[in-house]
Amino acid sequence: MRREPRVAADLPVPAGWRAGLLVGSGWMLWRAPLAVMHRIVAVTVCWLILVGVAAAGPRPRWADVETFAVFLGLGSVAVVLSARLGVDLAVAHTPRHDLLASWALAVAVLLPPLFPTVIGLPLCWLAGRCEPARPPHLRVFHAAALGIAGFCASSVHLLLSPSDGPFTVDSLIGSSVATMAFLAAVAVHPVLVGLAGLGMYRRGREDGLGAWLGETGPRPGAFPGPAAERAEALPTWAAETCSAIIVAVLWTVSPYLMLAVTPPMLLLQRSLLHTELLHAARCDAKTSLANPAYWRQVAQRELDRARRTGRPLSVLLVDIDHFKQVNDRFGHLVGDLILLAVADALRAATRPRDLVGRFGGEEFVVLLAQDEPERPLDVAERIRRQVAGTSCRLDGRPPLSVTVSVGVATEQGPPGDLATLLSRADTALYQAKAGGRNRVRLADPLGDPLSDPLSAAH
């Protein structure tokens, strides 16, 4: 049997190649969707062009080279030490926020464009070596995004506040014009870094690639919404930017003050593991879906909101057919492969805003918010087909496939509690299994399950 279960799962696109990228260490760019691949290639080519433009400029001063070497060394030390400090708290196979922009932004406001354009490559590559969850082409993409932002920020700074030599405190923030130029460069850098991956990150999230594209921690469901995610990211962005400002100003005061900057940066890096630990507390360790406690918490909140707004809300209970026979015949390790494959199939068959969780054993649960009552049946049938088309390759054996039965319950009549909604879905699931398995059943508002016209026999 394969040692890496996500690679062993032969899943329909996009879940199949998603799995390989999460644990793969090679160049798998060609296995990404065209929109993602085009964005990575376009940003990288643009960055290489800017590197050539910056290299064709004035010859670097030795003082600038020395400053660049110091910042590169400090950034490298911070990357290595932060990885070691956080190893006891980190979640396996999960990209982490590395705060590289703090060092890159400081270099952008202190040095000519060539240096901030190239500093991202060694730092991102070193961060990737310390964090194998991030594949090589994503490291290059991150370096390219930092390089483009650094080139533009440095150019804006020098355009608004020209300098013939290394910046001092007076030339950096000693006047209103210098301060405005400094703040303009600081504002340009994070905006361009975000724009470089804006569309790609949205597309990757829709395809279940949040972790591969750099999200910190597994993403069990999206009901908290983009606003909540932005609220989580805003403090990190603010801390990163403020750190870069402090580092740049202290460097102009005295380079020796850099010795006092690195420890707080490491402490800030370690504090960012809070988000990662929060995700770990919400996720099932085996499948990275929402665990029962977190799923119930979100489901109850969404049920209360649905009652206030009058929109329907649905719950899908999904159970793997004859799963005990798989464990008895092939062993629990193969059973774990099946659980992972079904979890990926559920992600692929649902929308980013739907909350998918593991309810225990071979049972999964999906929370849907929809505008029309037919929607949950479509999703349930898509889940059934997606799982039926999923297979796991086993060494020396034919590919193994499973099916699922799905029970659907919709809250659109007299209000009930979450337990009642789950009980109705469970009754519908029981009827689906009793009717031959590999079926979808819909519970009526009174709790009596009715046959869904989309039901399919095994």
Q: What is the pLDDT of residues 59-90, one digit of tens each?
A: 889 999 999 999 999 888 877 776 666 555 54
The larger pLDDT score, comparing residue 354 to residue 416, is at: 354
Work out the number of other CB atoms within 10 angstroms of the CB of residue 397: 11
Tens of pLDDT along 82-111? 666 655 554 444 455 667 888 899 999 999
**CA distances to 11, 82, 88, 89, 193 from 269, in Å:** 36, 6, 14, 12, 19
Task: Note the maximum CA span of the chain.
Answer: 81
> How many whole angstroms separate alpha carbon 395 and alpha carbon 171?
66
> Is 68 or 309 the better-scoring residue by pLDDT?
68
**Mean per-residue pLDDT, 128-141:** 72
What is the arithmetic mean of pLDDT over 402-421? 82
Write out pLDDT tens, residues 430-451: 999 998 999 999 887 654 444 4
Burial of 353 (0-12, 13-18, 19+ CB in 10 A): middle
Output the CA angle 325-326-328, nearest 5 degrees.
60
Q: Is the pLDDT of residue 387 over 70?
A: yes
What's the token pair of residue 252?
A: 């102009």
Pairing of strands 404-411, 440-443: parallel
pLDDT at residue 230, rounded to an integer: 52
For the sheet with 9-10, list strands across it. Answer: 9-10, 391-394, 397-401
For residue 227, pLDDT over 50 is answered with no
Do 83 and 126 form a contact (C-beta atoms < 8 A)? no
CA distance 6 to 11: 9
Taking residues 141-168, report their average pLDDT.
Answer: 91
- What is the pLDDT, as a whole number, of residue 144? 93
pLDDT of residue 371: 57
Residues in CB range of 329: below 8 A, 6 or more apart: none
Cα-Cα-Cα-Cα dihedral sign, residues 53, 56, 58, 61: positive
Task: Give mean pLDDT, residues 348-377.
Answer: 82
Contact of 333 with 1, CB cutoff 8 Å: yes
Domains observed in the chain: 32-282 (no CATH), 292-451 (3.30.70.270)
- Specify the residue for token string 């996720």: 283
Positive or negative torsion for Cα 266, 230, 352, 410: positive
What backbone torsions phi and psi does residue 93 show, to the nearest 5 degrees? 60, 30
Structure tokens at 44: 């990288």
Bond into 14 cis (ω within 30): yes
Give residue 397's Cα distance to chain centre. 34
* Nearest Cα to Cα of residue 373 among 340, 410, 344, 404: 410
Q: What is the pLDDT of residue 372?
A: 58
Give the closest residue to 132 by CA, choosing from 9, 242, 22. 22
Rg (CA), the chain: 26
